[in-house]
Amino acid sequence: MGWHYRKSIKVGPFRINLSRHGVGHSYGNRRFHISATPDGRRHVTVRLPGGFQVGKTFGKRRYRHY
């Protein structure tokens, strides 16, 4: 079983995400959200009325996860 760490710091409309893999950041509101992960991927999420959510990830991981 691996260990996990996650801490988020809100700075205005931005959020800085700290984890054991590095630093990521995100920006958005309840309906539209863009985030960048520590391994270089970008993720866009759109939440629609009625509980639907659509997301798309761009890019590939830059490190091997063991």
Query: In this structure, is residue 37 part of a structural domain?
Result: yes
The whole-model pTM stands at 0.66
Dist. CA 30–CA 57, nearest whole Å: 18
Query: In this structure, is residue 12 part of a structural domain?
Result: yes
What is the reported pLDDT for 24?
Answer: 92
Domain count for the chain:
1
Query: In this structure, is residue 29 part of a structural domain?
Result: yes
Query: In this structure, is residue 30 part of a structural domain?
Result: yes
- In the structure encoding, which two tokens stand for residue 2, read together? 């691996």
Query: In this structure, is residue 65 part of a structural domain?
Result: no
What is the reported pLDDT for 4?
Answer: 81
Query: In this structure, is residue 64 part of a structural domain?
Result: no
Per-residue pLDDT of the chain (66 residues; tens, 9 = 90+): 577 888 999 988 899 999 888 899 999 988 999 999 888 899 999 999 999 999 999 987 766 555
Query: In this structure, is residue 63 part of a structural domain?
Result: no
Look up the domain containing 29 and give its range. Answer: 6-58
Please compute Rg for the chain using Cα positions.
13
